[in-house]
Amino acid sequence: MDHRARLLDEYFGLLDGEMTIGEHKISDLAATYGTPLYIYDASILRHRLAILRDAVPDRVDIYFSIKANPNPAVASIFVTEGAGVEIASGAEFLRARDAGCPSSRILFAGPGKTAAELAMVIEHGIGEIHVESDDEITRLIEIGRPVHVAVRVNPLAEASGGAMRMGGQASPFGIDEERVEEVIQRVQEAPNLTFSGLHMFAGTQILKADVLVGQWRHALELAIRISESVGLPIAQLDLGGGLGVPYFSNEKPLDLDVVTELSSALFAELGDHPAIADTQIVLEPGRFLAGPGGIYVGRATTVKKSRDKTFVVTDAGMHHHLAASGNLGQVIKRDYPVINVSRAGESHDMAATVVGPLCTPLDTLARKGTMPAQTATGDLIAILQSGAYGLSASPVGFLSQPMPAEVLIDGASHKQIRKPGTYEQPLTGLPR
């Protein structure tokens, strides 16, 4: 079974030859809400959180990294199930609150927090700030209000393995491991700051369980060493996010059974060490939780041949989904799983290049795509694995193309969770 067929089988369905999501024909949702549109399935989102919880030791508390999908209705699915929220900006703080997350369950990481953002989140009683620089500590001291502070560590060893490497090198993220004790000392001495823990985040899109748990090991060992050297308990240890999802045909899903096996062994070995026996362990994934539960759907506006190639031109494009066009940090541009929704039951064996409406060859959604031979103008085309780093990680102002609608389905219900833009006002905000 190819990658696309596997995803179709695992998360979606077929009715009258068309692809369905949950109980809904995608064509019905497209008729109601228009295209292009993002559709999220609450039951897949809940399922992702549930399988992750099952896979890791009970003492792990999960926070949703809201940068992966800042729509409050999406985040609220995780919050309702008890997840906290990790934010990276003042606006994300308000999104998390709109999602129903109590301030005390919100963590703020990120290298460029401004005084205004910090003052606002502290005013609202944020749970914890993860400091990443000396300047930031100075700002917190100047704000003068009590707040819990964890130190984000830029690891000394290259604890990496995700597509994006962080750690072992100079970095704008976190405090260099060799300076952590000194920085904790400063936090301790500040009258309004309470040192509460450490945060490690070494890479994203990790698909190998041994690499992931290897990073967790590094974090636990570091926490033990730092706790002993500064003589303080580590109330909370944030292991970061970074759990991957398979986008490309050469990728395999993260094996959660192996994660369970390796993490149980790790916690059996180190978890009861007196330095961290009472430490709250945190994971803050974004992509793993939100990615598989969302699809981006467009309609073919043109099917044309040029020389030896067939092009399917859609009203969906990189302005709403930069990652699927291969332009969000990918070194090698590979195709996301793309499917003809209207003919999902037909074999996709015609080579086709799927492109968006923008006047640039960058706006390509499938370079080596395949579509059913009968693919025609009017067909609906979906990009799977699009619930994370889709709309919010895209150049939405480009060519003044209107924002797409976003729709959340939950069982038989469906609701619009973002109004689409219009020609008059292409970039509308979230309803608040």
Q: What gap in Å lies between CA 148 and CA 151, rounded to an integer?
A: 10
Could you say which of 98, 284, 335, 379 contacts ligand PLP (CB under 6 A)? 284
Q: Which of residues 102-131 bind ligand PLP (CB under 6 A)?
A: 109
Could you say which of 72, 84, 155, 286 contacts ligand PLP (CB under 6 A)? 286
Q: What pairing do the DSSP bridges indicate for beta strands 13-15 and 18-21? A: antiparallel
The CB-of-204 to ligand PLP minimum distance in angstroms stands at 3
* Residue whose tokens read 């030896």: 308
DSSP 8-state assignment for residue 174:
S
Could you say which of 70, 240, 357, 402 contacts ligand PLP (CB under 6 A)? 240
Q: What gap in Å lies between CA 339 and CA 384, rounded to an integer?
A: 8
Could you report how far apart the first and last alpha carbons of the chain are, in Å? 43
The CB-of-286 to ligand PLP minimum distance in angstroms stands at 3
Could you say which of 246, 285, 372, 387 contacts ligand PLP (CB under 6 A)? 285
Closer residue to ligand PLP, CB minimum distance, 132 or 363: 132
Q: Are the beta carbons of 64 and 85 closer than 8 angstroms? A: yes
Which residues, 6 or more positions from 400, have their beta carbon under 8 angstroms from its beta carbon?
426
Q: Map residue 349 onto helix, strand or coil.
A: coil
Angle at 123 between CA 118 and CA 129, to 5 degrees: 40
Closer residue to ligand PLP, CB minimum distance, 56 or 371: 56
Token representation of residue 2: 């190819």
Closer residue to ligand PLP, CB minimum distance, 172 or 274: 172
Closer residue to ligand PLP, CB minimum distance, 86 or 92: 86
Q: Is 65 in the site for ligand PLP (CB under 6 A)?
A: yes
Q: Which of residues 287-306 bind ligand PLP (CB under 6 A)?
A: 287-288
Q: Is 241 in the site for ligand PLP (CB under 6 A)?
A: yes
Q: Are the beta carbons of 309 and 303 closer than 8 angstroms? A: no
Measured from the Cβ of residue 252, the count of other Cβ atoms closer than 10 Å reads 10
Q: Is 197 in the site for ligand PLP (CB under 6 A)?
A: no
The CB-of-77 to ligand PLP minimum distance in angstroms stands at 16
Q: Are the beta carbons of 76 and 104 closer than 8 angstroms? A: no
Window of 8-16, 285-293, 352-360, 424-432 that interacts with ligand PLP by CB under 6 A: 285-293
- Report how many residues bind ligand PLP under the rule CB under 6 A: 16
Measured from the Cβ of residue 405, the count of other Cβ atoms closer than 10 Å reads 23
The CB-of-87 to ligand PLP minimum distance in angstroms stands at 10
Q: Are the beta carbons of 207 and 285 closer than 8 angstroms? A: no
Q: What gap in Å lies between CA 154 and CA 147, rounded to an integer?
A: 22
Q: What pairing do the DSSP bridges indicate for beta strands 413-418 and 405-410? A: antiparallel
Q: Is 242 in the site for ligand PLP (CB under 6 A)?
A: yes
Could you say which of 19, 30, 52, 68 contacts ligand PLP (CB under 6 A)? 68
Window of 7-15, 286-294, 375-383, 404-412 that interacts with ligand PLP by CB under 6 A: 286-294
Closer residue to ligand PLP, CB minimum distance, 21 or 388: 388
The CB-of-14 to ligand PLP minimum distance in angstroms stands at 30
Residues found near ligand PLP in the complex (CB under 6 A): 65, 67-68, 86, 109, 201, 204, 240-243, 284-288
